Amino acid sequence: MHRISYYQYKVREKHERKGTILGKNSYIVALPFGVFEKVLSDNSNQVIADTIHSLKQRLKGEDFGILGQIRKTVLQLSAPPQLVQELKNEMKSARMPWPGDEGEQRWEQAWIAIKKVWASKWNERAYFSIRKIYAEVVKGLGETLVGAYPGRALSFVCKKMDLDSPKVLGYPSKPIGLFIKRSIIFRSDSNGEDLEGYAGAGLYDSVPMDKEEKVALDYSTDPLIVDSKFRDSILSNIAKAGHAIEELYGSPQDIEGVVKDCTCQEAEETIEELRSEAKMWERNAQKLMIDLELLMKELEFGDQSRRQADLDLELSTVCSERDGLKQEIEQLRTVIEEAQMASEISIFQTDGINYIKKELEEEIKFHKESNANLTINLKKSQ
């Protein structure tokens, strides 16, 4: 539950040392990305999940009044006990006050605040922003885009509902392009670039095996600039590729790519391949979920079967001992009866026999009670 970025950690660390970063008694606990979806999939929220799914389907028809209904529906979510307990533990471990300690009403206030954050995913500002794809294009290697090279890239946006109509926001002005022969480029993982004082990537260098060549760019004859049909085709295919990758991973992505010297037909084929791959991964994920559920059921059934077998074996052993004792008791009873019929038996012998008889009766009673308890346990396990 309590997983924060290096940037958040350093902010909190400074505060704990100096007490001046966030103000007195200010701490950070993060609900990781995906917790909302996990809460929505809980059995207690099945009706809410179905309602939200239905409203989202209606939203595809451009009925934007549905946004308010989705926000209200999110506020009806129930908090799964596991979430409440983990959040409580993490907040206390971070020395944050747990709202529930101040009464149930205070926890309800906190839970409503959490749900309002999730519901804001469907406010007008957020919704209309994520319906667009934003991209920047440079000639040559992307290092001129992320590095400290002068000039601007060609930038555009494209509505996800209309990927064939890109809108150019700015034309390129970078004077230099970096080009390289077939090579390998080494770069850091973006998490490694989350340094103190920064909250994003692009800080470390990407280093190719071979040396790049700097080439002065001439945009006056570049079809990307002078041929609007060609430009729209390239930008549209970039947007389609980005949208296909977003569908593959289930959420918007910050990605980099290369436009090869290829025909529009080849670009369309690449996009279709990405869509097919996205569908394949979705099917694989569904199959894995089904396999996991079956495995959990098998494990649960296996545990019950082993316990049943152990109880059956124990009962069989006790029954065998009982039958042996019954036989022994019958033999002793015969001896007692014969002894009682003998007139010459002494008082001492009579007392001894009565003592043995009493002991045997108590032992029989004990075994009857043991058999009854085993029978009850066996019935409970079935």
Domain ranges of the chain: 31-126, 131-259, 303-381
Q: How confident is the model at residue 10 (pLDDT cuts 50, 70, 90)?
A: very low
Q: What is the pLDDT of residue 17?
A: 44
| Mean of all residue pLDDT scores within the chain | 77
Q: What is the pLDDT of residue 23?
A: 46
CA distances (Å), 340 to each of 190, 271, 345, 356, in order? 97, 103, 8, 13
Interval 149-167: pLDDT, tens: 899 999 999 988 889 999 9
Per-residue tokens: 197:
């004082």
Using an 8 Å Cβ cutoff, are 143 and 182 in contact? no
C-alpha 360/C-alpha 366 separation (Å) is: 10
Asked if pLDDT for residue 181 goes beyond 50, the answer is yes
Of all helices (H) and strands (E), which one includes residue 215? strand 213-216
Q: Which residue has the higher pLDDT, 60 or 349?
A: 60
- 209-238: average pLDDT: 90
The dihedral through the CA atoms of 356, 359, 365, 370 has a sign that is: negative
Using an 8 Å Cβ cutoff, are 96 and 110 in contact? no
> How many CA atoms are closer than 13 Å to the CA of 84, on its beta-carbon side?
14
Asked if pLDDT for residue 136 goes beyond 50, the answer is yes
Interval 17-51: pLDDT, tens: 443 444 445 567 888 778 899 999 999 999 999 99
Asked if pLDDT for residue 200 goes beyond 70, the answer is no
Which of 249, 248, 235 minimizes the C-alpha distance to 275? 248
Using an 8 Å Cβ cutoff, are 242 and 275 in contact? no
Asked if pLDDT for residue 3 goes beyond 80, the answer is no
Using an 8 Å Cβ cutoff, are 146 and 260 in contact? no
Phi, psi of 9 (to 5 degrees): -60, -45
Q: How many residues does the chain have?
A: 382
Per-residue tokens: 27:
């701490």
